[in-house]
């Protein structure tokens, strides 16, 4: 809900402007500039920099500060010192709330879709779209960069995150952050950490031993931070081993700031701050969105010595560091009109790399453009648009929700469709066929159309949002029954999925093709049609395991999800968090621990529906001649395009560490996306990521390589690795 802009009074800035503002000299080292400003600041000015100005436009009736740009957060600057306001915008998959003041923002494919590209350049482009549109809209800080690991495939925010593997997720999100910050915007990474389910998110205590944390969830953050150098980190709502994530000395001070060398500032998730002294001492630098703990209470704590003055300097200094290091001071954003066409082109390009062909029996795909029969397009509003994910990641659809424009920009809690209608683009390609649409609302009517058509393209959806987890892997809205009815009427059925995360597909054996399009973004309709008709050869690979059934997951039921806790008590209109269980826990030690995603399936000898890394192409690739160089821990092998079409292949390298590590499963250690013409072959070398060849040794608090025999495997998916070689590593 957006409130009207009611001015909020800010503290008077009494001290005079210093004559020589040397910190404005961009040639000085950033750390020096920070110190120069800090020396001039009063305690009130320092306090002003370490908290937000309230709920603002996010809550109906809340006051809105002057110069507030309409984003999720606002920190007023200090004009006498030339320190600008910080305007923060939610921007997980595009800039949120653009419709406010008639702005426009590009909807990108979901971050999970980005991860399915396995393409670091796509990650950078993704961030670049967000960064440049933030600039154009007058923001100087992005709050996106979600990289929580997919421990819970039914987590309602998986579409904002990059899947189940720390190397893949960290690499894609790290590049995304670099893309954002290449626009002189402060980027961030979130939700730090272990915010892997929405159920009970404000109170849940996540239990996981330090080794498992470091090798899984925290490793994804570590890699993202090492690549993207975000200047902000948002700590999450949940507790970790007893302490809230925003007052957790281990994860904030010890791991993030000390071990990862994070130089920016830690901001809390909205109302994720729970104390003054404890939080400040544990490493939280900024309370959002208001000043309950980091306003007057913090000033008093500093004056009483409960929080050392040096710590307040560190907090304010980190905020200043982010402002200087990003370029937000030297090159502030200037508002101008966003170019929607450039955004759409970029979004479509990423979508085309992200779509995963899961199944293609009898080569039903690609469809021929000279197909003359009749095509039935069924379901999921494919006649008007494509689905997007909800919550604070929701981007406003141009012109309003494509299925109900009259309801306003994007009400919380409702599926929003974007006007990129697959039906239209399918019609454009299949000019010689009769293309008919059925809503899919009634299985009998859909099956009747399927029966009289030569080919069926059936769109299925799973809407997900912040604040609620899916109760099961099953598709909602009786869609399993719809597929069964349609496939029984016509076996030449192609399923196209628009979904937040993994879903089960009990009907998979009865359809000929399955195309995973995630939430495909504003160019989604075109991208899907380009792949269906072979103008683009699919190349996406799954960034997460698709289990056949909930019973195969480490937690067959989402921990703590009940009728009472579902939707997290979030009231659709007011976004109020209702009473939750007081101290629920999620025990990730048992049984999941280190075995996230595909590792669980391997150790438990469970066959997934579709494995991590899986994804078909319209051509075929052959792998040969693996050799491993122990000195550089790198693998060299050859890939040949053995089919008739040019295509991209994502060649994957996995390693299984020596038995002495106690981790008897393969882990992704590297990959390369390559393009091959028909008949062409390339020999590539992939160096294994050194951290992935190590384990985290808790007694010495460091990463250790365990000497011994390492098994390297290379191939096209985690369950299709034709090349194997052992190497003794020191």
Task: By CB under 6 A, name the binding residues for ligand BGC.
Answer: 72, 90, 143, 190, 269-270, 392, 466
Shortest approach of ligand BGC to residue 471 CB, angstroms?
21
Q: How many CB atoms lie within 10 A of CB 436?
A: 14
Closer residue to ligand BGC, CB minimum distance, 55 or 417: 55
**CA-CA distance, 654 to 649, in Å (whole number)?**
16
Provide the pairing of β-strand 708-715 with 695-697.
Answer: unpaired
Backbone Cα Rg of the chain: 25
Residue (390 or 543) nearer to ligand BGC, CB = 390
**How many of the other CB atoms lie within 10 Å of CB of 7?**
10
Contact in structure between 151 and 469 (CB atoms under 8 Å): no
Closest distance to ligand BGC from the beta carbon of 93 (Å): 12
Nearest distance from residue 176's CB to ligand BGC, in Å?
15
Of the pair 63, 534, the CB lying nearest ligand BGC is at 63
For residues 520 and 347, what is the distance between their CA atoms, to the nearest angstrom? Answer: 8
The minimum distance between CB 142 and ligand BGC, in angstroms, equals: 10
Specify whether the CB–CB gap between 714 and 726 falls below 8 A: no
Residues 6+ apart with CB under 8 A from 174: 123, 223, 224, 225, 226, 227, 228
Q: Cα(31)–Cα(528) distance, rounded to whole angstroms?
A: 48
List of E strands, 523-646: 585-587, 621-629, 634-641
Smallest separation, CB 201 to ligand BGC (Å)? 8
Give the shortest CB-391-to-ligand BGC separation in angstroms. 7
Give bridge partners of residue 223 from the DSSP assignment. Answer: none
Closer residue to ligand BGC in complex, CB, 92/178: 92
Q: In what order do the strands lie in the sheet containing 455-462?
A: 356-360, 513-516, 493-499, 455-462, 374-378, 434-438
Structure tokens at 12: 């008077």
Least separation in angstroms between CB 270 and ligand BGC: 4
Beta bridge partners of 494: 457, 513
* 349 to 96, 222, 344: CA distances (angstroms): 21, 28, 8
Q: Which is nearer to ligand BGC, 586 or 676 (CB)?
A: 586
Q: How far is the CB of 389 from ligand BGC (least distance, A)?
A: 12
The distance of closest approach from Cβ of residue 25 to ligand BGC in the complex, given in angstroms and rounded to an integer, is: 34
Quote the least distance from Cβ 128 to ligand BGC, whole Å: 20
Closer by beta carbon to ligand BGC, 38 or else 393: 393
Q: Is the distance from CB of 601 to CB of 611 less than 8 angstroms?
A: yes
The least distance separating ligand BGC from the CB of residue 157, rounded to whole angstroms, comes to 8
Instruction: For residues 232 and 171, give the distance between their C-alpha atoms in angstroms, rounded to a whole number.
Output: 17
Q: Given the complex with ligand BGC, which of 58 and 558 has the nearer CB atom? A: 58
- Cβ proximity to ligand BGC: between 141 and 669 the closer is 141
**Paired strand residues for 627:** 636
Q: Are 52 and 85 in contact (CB under 8 A)?
A: no
* Least distance (Å) between residue 290 CB and ligand BGC: 12
Query: Which residue, 2 or 306, is less far from ligand BGC as judged by CB?
Result: 2
Tell me the closest approach of the beta carbon of residue 40 to ligand BGC, in angstroms.
31
Shortest Å, Cβ 466 to ligand BGC? 6
Could you give the C-alpha distances from 463 to 157, 380, 634, in angstroms and in order? 11, 11, 41
How would you classify the pairing of strands 232-235 and 188-192?
parallel
Closer by beta carbon to ligand BGC, 71 or else 540 = 71
Which C-beta is closer to ligand BGC: that of 197 or that of 453? 197
Of 571, 271, 548, residue with least CA distance to 413: 571
Q: Which is nearer to ligand BGC, 90 or 663 (CB)?
A: 90
State how far the Cα of 598 lies from the Cα of 314, in Å rounded to an integer: 41
Instruction: Closer to ligand BGC by CB, 466 or 713: give it.
Output: 466
- CB of 74 or CB of 126, closer to ligand BGC: 74
Q: Of the two residues 90 and 512, which places its CB atom closer to ligand BGC in the complex?
A: 90
Paired sense of beta strands 666-676 and 647-656, if any: antiparallel
Residue 107 is classified by DSSP as P
Tokens of 495: 């399923």
Smallest Cα–Cα separation from 561: which of 553, 569, 571, 552? 569
Pairing of strands 708-715, 647-656: antiparallel
CB of 72 to ligand BGC, least distance (A): 4
Q: 112 Cβ partners below 8 Å, 6+ apart? A: 158, 159, 160, 161, 162, 163, 500, 501, 518, 543, 544
Nearer to ligand BGC, 392 or 718 (CB): 392
Cα–Cα distance measured from residue 161 to residue 170, given in angstroms and rounded to the nearest whole number: 10
Instruction: For residue 230, count CB atoms less than 10 angstroms from its CB and return exposed for 0-12, middle for 13-18, buried for 19 or more.
Output: buried
Q: How far is Cα 104 from Cα 664, in angstroms, rounded to an integer?
A: 49
Shortest spacing between CB 190 and ligand BGC, in angstroms: 6
Q: What are phi and psi of 653, to 5 degrees?
A: -120, 125
Query: 289: cis peptide before it, omega within 30°?
Result: yes
């Amino acid at each position: 809900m957006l409130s009207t802009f009611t001015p909020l009074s800010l503290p008077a800035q009494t001290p005079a402007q210093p004559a020589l503002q040397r910190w404005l000299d961009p040639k000085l080292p950033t750390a020096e500039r920070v110190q120069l400003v800090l020396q001039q600041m009063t305690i009130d000015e320092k306090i002003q920099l370490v908290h937000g100005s309230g709920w603002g436009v996010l809550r109906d009736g809340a006051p809105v500060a002057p110069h507030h740009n309409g984003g999720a957060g606002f920190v007023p600057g200090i004009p006498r010192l030339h320190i600008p306001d910080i305007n923060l915008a939610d921007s997980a998959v595009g800039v949120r709330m653009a419709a406010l003041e008639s702005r426009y923002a590009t909807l990108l494919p979901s971050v999970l879709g980005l991860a399915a590209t396995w393409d670091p350049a796509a990650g950078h482009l993704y961030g670049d779209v967000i960064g440049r549109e933030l600039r154009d809209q007058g923001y100087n800080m992005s709050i996106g960069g979600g990289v929580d690991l997919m421990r819970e495939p039914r987590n309602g925010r998986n579409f904002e995150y990059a899947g189940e593997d720390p190397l893949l997720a960290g690499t894609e999100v790290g590049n995304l952050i670099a893309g954002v910050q290449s626009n002189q915007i402060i980027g961030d990474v979130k939700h730090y950490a272990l915010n892997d389910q929405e159920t009970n998110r404000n109170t849940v205590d996540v239990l996981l031993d330090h080794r498992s944390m470091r090798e899984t969830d925290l490793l994804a953050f570590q890699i993202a931070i090492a690549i993207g150098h975000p200047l902000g980190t948002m700590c999450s709502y949940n507790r970790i081993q007893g302490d809230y994530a925003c007052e957790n000395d281990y994860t904030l001070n010890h791991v993030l700031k000390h071990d990862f060398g994070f130089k920016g500032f830690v901001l809390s998730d909205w109302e994720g701050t729970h104390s003054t002294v404890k939080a400040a001492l544990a490493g939280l630098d900024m309370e959002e969105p208001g000043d309950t703990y980091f306003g007057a209470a913090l000033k008093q704590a500093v004056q009483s010595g409960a929080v050392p003055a040096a710590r307040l300097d560190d907090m304010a200094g980190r905020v200043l560091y982010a402002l200087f290091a990003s370029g937000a001071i030297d090159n502030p954003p200037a508002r101008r009109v966003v170019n929607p066409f450039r955004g759409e082109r970029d979004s479509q390009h990423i979508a085309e790399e992200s779509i995963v062909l899961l199944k293609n029996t009898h080569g039903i795909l690609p469809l021929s453009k000279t197909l003359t029969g009749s095509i039935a397009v069924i379901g999921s509003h494919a006649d008007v648009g494509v689905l997007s994910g909800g919550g604070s990641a929701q981007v406003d659809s141009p012109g309003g929700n494509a299925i109900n424009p009259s309801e306003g920009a994007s009400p919380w809690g409702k599926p929003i469709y974007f006007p990129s209608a697959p039906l239209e683009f399918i019609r454009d390609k299949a000019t010689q066929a009769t293309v008919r649409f059925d809503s899919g609302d009634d299985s009998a009517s859909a099956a009747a159309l399927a029966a009289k058509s030569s080919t069926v393209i059936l769109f299925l959806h799973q809407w997900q949002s912040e604040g609620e987890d899916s109760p099961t892997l099953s598709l909602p809205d009786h869609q399993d029954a719809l597929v069964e009815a349609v496939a029984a009427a016509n076996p030449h059925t192609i399923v196209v999925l628009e979904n937040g995360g993994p879903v089960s597909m009990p009907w998979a054996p009865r359809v000929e093709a399955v195309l995973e399009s995630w939430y495909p973004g504003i160019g989604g309709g075109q991208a899907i049609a380009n792949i269906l008709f072979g103008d683009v050869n699919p190349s996406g690979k799954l960034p997460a395991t698709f289990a056949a059934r909930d019973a195969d997951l480490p937690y067959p039921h989402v921990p703590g999800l009940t009728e009472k806790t579902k939707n997290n008590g979030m009231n659709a209109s007011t976004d109020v968090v209702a009473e939750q269980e007081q101290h629920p826990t999620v025990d990730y030690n048992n049984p999941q621990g280190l075995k996230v995603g595909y590792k669980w399936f391997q150790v438990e000898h469970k066959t997934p529906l579709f494995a991590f890394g899986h994804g078909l192409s319209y051509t075929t690739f052959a792998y040969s001649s693996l050799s491993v160089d122990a000195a550089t821990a790198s693998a060299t092998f050859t890939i040949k395009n053995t089919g008739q079409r040019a295509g991209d292949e994502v060649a994957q390298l996995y390693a299984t560490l020596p038995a002495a590590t106690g981790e008897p499963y393969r882990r992704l250690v590297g990959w390369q996306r390559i393009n091959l013409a028909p008949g062409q072959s390339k020999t590539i070398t992939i160096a294994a990521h050194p951290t992935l060849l190590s384990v985290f040794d808790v007694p010495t608090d460091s990463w250790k390589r365990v000497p011994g025999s390492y098994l390297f495997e290379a191939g096209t998916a985690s369950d299709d690795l034709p090349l194997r070689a052992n190497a003794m590593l020191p």
